[in-house]
Structure 1
Amino acid sequence: MKYTIKIHKVSTVDDLENSWSAEDFKELLVRFDFANNDVNDLKELRELLFMAIGDKEPNEAAAIVLDYKLGTVLNEGQIDSLSYEMLVDKISEEYPKIELHKTLFIINQLLYKAFNGKFPNTKATIVDFEITPSRNADTTITKEIVLKCLAQNLDRHNVIIRLFSNQLNADEAFIEANDIIWDLEKKDTTYRLTTSDYFMSREEFINDEFEANIKFFEGD
């Protein structure tokens, strides 16, 4: 299937809008024994949470936030290990379960800012683009289609190209595409994707406009 892609903008960010709600901050303040029912403003709640976080050791704070966001997915031992590993490694890029990368990024950046850089700084990539299918191409644009198209416009050293060549070539099903791309939104005639800078950085894009021919895995 053939698609024409036009890249409008590629941005690098260290935070994702609307990652945390006022309810999130209130619940975290309770868990940090710093509850304040009189405050409802998101910015004020964030400032209070940063004060509460700062009263803890970095690994202790990390464990509390990890338990809040991932306590139903990770056990106590895994959370304890991650709370220490996050201080020295970019866990949101290195953790073997790709489906947790977005949440780990959100957690990491909250802790990075609360502790003024004691945690590694990680980045996300936002791409605004148009994608036009040819006559016979699928018009329902999925994360797999977008990822396979964009991969053809990335530097050959890109992590996706190196780690998922079989999936990109349709020798295997590309189920990882749904987790590599964190979000895919349609805005009028354009799309916006969000992913980790680890998987797709601004510097790796080659052309602003290109054509891509992609294939899909035909399994049993």
Structure 2
Amino acid sequence: MNYQVKIKRVDNVNEIDGYWADEDYIQLLEKFNYPDGASAEKKNLPELLFMAISDYEPSDAAEIVLTYKLSEDLNEGQIQQISHNMLIDKVCEEYPEIHLQGTLYAINQLLYKAYNGKFPNAKASVVLFSMTPIEGDSGKILTKENVLKLLNNGLSDRNLIKRLFEDEMSQNIPFPSAEGIVWELNTTDNVNYSLVTSENWLNNQDFIRSEFESVLEELEEEV
């Protein structure tokens, strides 16, 4: 299926709206020895958490938040290592387990705000675009993998995704890492989309054209 792709806007942001729910703030406040979060006004929860976090050493606070979010994915030693590395490196951009990078980004930015910049400031990208079937309406709901493959023709050869996943981006083969590269993919009409990922994966300079055509091939089923 041929698609007309239009890149409308690429924004850099410091946080992902809506990532942290009120219940997250309440549970984290308890872990930082502030037990009254449940009775606080919802609008005050983020600031209360930032104040509670700032009473701790940065690496200790990082360990608490990492344990809260990633204890099922990482062991205690890995969490301790990351909690120290986060103070000097953008771990959320470098961590080899790509599917954890989005969560690590959200944790990094929470700590960045709580400590007024003691942690590196990582950036996310919000890409607004449309993907319209050239011949009729395919009725196909595009996946994260589909979208990245369709963006390929508009990206510079210097783009990190193209350099690391050249075959997956350009050939009719599975691309499982797409699920970790794209943190959010939203659409209301299966034509206009918003995509959230790390600035390290996609940024405004990566797009060398704003309008282009791409072909999406159906993956061949294994017999």
The TM-score, its normalising length taken from structure 2, stands at: 0.92
Is this contact kept in 1: 2:144–2:179, CA < 8 A?
A: yes
> Which residue of 1 is the match for residue 214 of structure 2?
212
Cα distance per residue 1:119-167 (max 9 Å; x no partner): 1111111111110123396733121121011122111100001000011
> Which residue of 2 is the match for residue 152 of structure 1?
153
> Which residue of 2 is the match for residue 79 of structure 1?
79
Report % sequence identity.
45
Q: In structure 2, how many angstroms separate the alpha carbons of the residues matched to 1:172 and 1:38?
A: 52
Deviation at 1:71, TM superposition (A): 1.1
Q: How does 1:119-138 map to 2 (within 5 A)?
A: 119-135=119-135
Amino acid at match of 1:125: S
> Which residue of 2 is the match for residue 178 of structure 1?
179
Q: Which deviates further from its counterpart, 200-209 or 77-86? A: 200-209
Report SS of the residue matched to 1:152: helix
> Which residue of 2 is the match for residue 203 of structure 1?
205
What value does the CA root-mean-square deviation take over the aligned residues?
Answer: 1.7
- Runs ≥4 residues deviating over 4 A: none
Report SS of the residue matched to 1:48: helix
Q: Which deviates further from its counterpart, 206-215 or 173-182? A: 206-215
Deviation at 1:169, TM superposition (A): 2.3
Report SS of the residue matched to 1:74: coil
Q: In structure 2, how many angstroms separate the alpha carbons of the residues matched to 1:139 and 1:215?
A: 12
Deviation at 1:98, TM superposition (A): 0.8
Is this contact kept in 1: 2:4–2:131, CA < 8 A?
A: yes
The TM-score, its normalising length taken from structure 1, stands at: 0.93
Structure 1 pair 219/94, CA: closer, same or farther in 2 (3 Å)? farther
Is this contact kept in 2: 1:170–1:217, CA < 8 A?
A: no
Is this contact kept in 2: 1:63–1:83, CA < 8 A?
A: yes
Which consecutive unaligned segments of at least 5 residues does structure 1 have?
none
